[in-house]
Structure 1
Amino acid sequence: MQRRSFLAGLTAVLIGLTSPAAEAQDNAAVKPLRMLFVTQSVGFKHSSVTRRDPGMLSPAEIALTELGQKTGLFKVDCTQDCANDFKKAILEKYDIVGFYTTGNLPIADEDKAYFFGEWIKQKGHGILGFHSAGDTFHDYEPYWDLMGGTFIGHPWGSGNVVTFTGHDPENPIAKPFGKEFTIKDEIYMYRHWQPEKCRVLLSLDYSKSPTGSDVNTGFGYHVPLAWVKKVGEGKLYYNNLGHNETSWTNAAYLESITNAVKWFRGEIEVDATPNPEVSKAYEEKSKKDFEAGEFKGKAK
């Protein structure tokens, strides 16, 4: 419980610095949801989740905490200690769990069973997956089946400028990005992509996203960037962006997250019907663009 108090204290430090307008928003009639933001790295540790000084939050943690304060929709507790904080008794207190993680997180089997078997399927619960949430629990099927994909590489690195296409531009979660969006960020390719279970919202446009790195097409050419799905009565939103710290100040990215939380809350309707036909069409387009472009790599 000391760890929980420490986490709450981190959030309280930031809350104490909020403006009167933010505090007024926080005290609105609508009760904010509680979010547990998990940013533990067992593998590679991104700068966006690195706490540079004791007692301070990372850039991604600050961004989500401040977004919750600004909108009044949710309150955030952050943890980099799954062994102590990712437990049934603690998870029961939360409505949302966010993942910006890597590797095999130290979560007890009984707590995994509760989270994947019960928690996520409950009405009002939501999952947010950011960037390397796809680089977590590679071989644990309940996790990658929930998240929607597993990292195999990032041919588009943090210095690449990429363009992606919006497949569902009127969907509230995708709408902030429009029909086409360009940003500098690292982009993953995936295995375990399951288009029959997800509604893909955004995909990489090869024709407008050059890279000099090797592109592994062994699991397909289509590069989905964001998607939603339902799991029982629970909901999930995954977005590949967030490697670069600048993404956490991008207005479209933050608005998309805000709308996902509104969806979790039941305030807006979001179509999460799987659209495998979009993945099929974009697989064909991506292959043609790959072959027509100056890309390196082959199936592995």
Structure 2
Amino acid sequence: MHRLIVFLVAATTFLTLSTAAIAAGEPLRVLYLDQSVGWRHEPVVRPRKGGLALSEIAMIAIGQESRAFVAEVTQDGREITPQRLASVDVLVFYTTGALPISAEAWSAVQTRVAAGKLGFVGLHSATDTNWTYDGPGEPYDRFIGGQFAGHPWTQGTPIRIETLDPDFPAVSMWPVGFDYAEEIYQYSGFDPARVRVLQTLDFTGTPLKRPYAVPVTWARQIGKGRLFFTNLGHTPSTWDDPRFRRQVAEAIRWTGRRSSGSAKPDVSRQATWQFKALLAYEPVAGRDDAAILARLERASPAWREATAARIANLRPIYPTKPENDRVPFDTAYRAVLAEVLIRGQSR
């Protein structure tokens, strides 16, 4: 009898472990929402005679190619309900405007993410999305990490991107530094203490410069759950780029907890990129920016973070039109640049 009990316990354990192993290897279940309430990007436009949009076809194909996930697609946010979420492992948004997502549904999304039962991936204009919400948790713009605040780098603009965590699975397919052409957003409400920036604009190689850092890709840990966002995906050709397609697959794997990678906020590193952007805005021949940055690395964390915040605050006062009053920007820019140079050039 004792042997029979041991055998039954062992068999039950084996079956349980086998079932878990099979489940861990099954494709993730993805719900892809590409609804536009307002501006509609070309990759989400469905043919007039019926059929799927370019990005919807690509999303389904990426899942099949990678064998990482099976995607369902919709252009109606009302399909996101607490009941539907029970059969979804990862939500992917390529959206714009005020989505028709109920407070009950958005609360359920956040609860499931925090519990590690749901991953979230945002693509390109997912940061140009928001709606009124005052329920438990966070409004959408704070949840995803930032809100669209213009795109000086329009479609096809040459840019240079720096990959900061080349071993992170959802950016490892890109070179450490590479030239590209895309539409790149800048953001309001971006809090460096809440995310880990994985890719950023490198203004030493981007012709159209700004004196403040512009993140391109980031990751966020939310309780036991994970969020990933990349600004890439505006241009149809990006969806044909094997690197971007692999990035989408790996982002889904990572947010679905099938791969590892730290989302610990990198406040100090983000401060360094604020200093780099400031110095690259008006390069000066003979000035040793590398030496300046090396000295700034040794400054106190409190000074670095406070000064980086002052640089970030140049964005909302940057003159976007020739007729704009430049005095507020010029005054703030010259003041923070002078402080950075004094600290960075002192021995």
TM-score, normalised by the number of residues in structure 1: 0.82
Please give the per-residue CA displacement for 1:19-44, whole angstroms capped at 9, x wherever unaligned: xxxxxxxx999311111111110021
Determine if the alignment matches structure 1 residue 70 to structure 2 residue 65: yes
Q: Secondary structure at the match of 2:88?
A: coil
Find 1:88's aligned residue among 62, 82, 99: 82
Instruction: Write the mapping of 1:41-56 to structure 2, written as runs, cut at 5 A.
Output: 41-56=36-51
Deviation of residue 206 (structure 1)? 1.6
Distance (whole Å) between structure 1 residues aligned to residue 123 and residue 256 of structure 2: 19
Distance (whole Å) between structure 1 residues aligned to residue 272 and residue 24 of structure 2: 45
Deviation of residue 264 (structure 1)? 3.1
Q: Secondary structure at the match of 2:249?
A: helix
Root mean square deviation, CA, Å: 2.4
Determine if the alignment matches structure 1 residue 222 to structure 2 residue 199: no
- CA separation of 1:283 and 1:139: change in aligned 2, threshold 3 A: farther
Distance (whole Å) between structure 1 residues aligned to residue 238 and residue 51 of structure 2: 20
Q: 1:203 — aligned with what?
A: 200
Highest CA radius of gyration, 1 or 2? Answer: 2
Find 1:155's aligned residue among 148, 152, 155: 152
* Matched residues, number: 265
Q: 2:18 — aligned with what?
A: none
Deviation of residue 57 (structure 1)? 1.2
Distance (whole Å) between structure 1 residues aligned to residue 23 and residue 67 of structure 2: 7
Contact 2:127/2:141 (8 A) holds in 1: yes
Q: 2:115 — aligned with what?
A: 122
Determine if the alignment matches structure 1 residue 106 to structure 2 residue 100: yes
Q: Which runs of 5+ in 2 are unaligned?
A: 1-21, 285-317, 321-325, 331-347
Q: Secondary structure at the match of 2:187?
A: strand
Deviation of residue 93 (structure 1)? 1.2
TM-score, normalised by the number of residues in structure 2: 0.71
Please give the per-residue CA displacement for 1:210-244, whole angstroms capped at 9, x wherever unaligned: 239xx6x7xxx110000111111111110000010
Q: 2:189 — aligned with what?
A: 192
Q: Secondary structure at the match of 1:104?
A: coil
Please give the per-residue CA displacement for 1:85-126, whole angstroms capped at 9, x wherever unaligned: 02111122101100100111011222222222x122122421
Determine if the alignment matches structure 1 residue 144 to structure 2 residue 148: no
Instruction: Write the mapping of 1:28-39 to structure 2, written as runs, cut at 5 A.
Output: 30-39=25-34
Distance (whole Å) between structure 1 residues aligned to residue 66 and residue 48 of structure 2: 27
Distance (whole Å) between structure 1 residues aligned to residue 225 and residue 155 of structure 2: 32
Distance (whole Å) between structure 2 residues aligned to residue 73 and residue 124 of structure 1: 17
Distance (whole Å) between structure 2 residues aligned to residue 251 and residue 195 of structure 1: 30
Identify, as 1 or 2, the structure richer in helix.
Answer: 2
Instruction: Write the mapping of 1:196-275 to structure 2, written as runs, cut at 5 A.
Output: 196-211=193-208, 221-275=212-266
Deviation of residue 72 (structure 1)? 1.5
Distance (whole Å) between structure 2 residues aligned to residue 138 and residue 284 of structure 1: 34
Deviation of residue 55 (structure 1)? 3.5
Greater RCO between the two (CA within 8 Å, min separation 6)?
Answer: 1
Please give the per-residue CA displacement for 1:225-266, whole angstroms capped at 9, x wherever unaligned: 001111111111100000100111111112222222222343
Contact 2:196/2:266 (8 A) holds in 1: yes
Contact 2:199/2:216 (8 A) holds in 1: yes
Letter in 2 for 1:127: F
Contact 2:27/2:69 (8 A) holds in 1: yes
Distance (whole Å) between structure 1 residues aligned to residue 23 and residue 180 of structure 2: 34
Letter in 2 for 1:65: I
Taking only the aligned residue pairs, the percentage that are identical comes to: 33
Letter in 2 for 1:273: K
- CA separation of 1:182 and 1:191: change in aligned 2, threshold 3 A: same
Q: Secondary structure at the match of 2:120?
A: strand
Letter in 1 for 2:87: K
Letter in 2 for 1:182: D
- CA separation of 1:138 and 1:206: change in aligned 2, threshold 3 A: farther
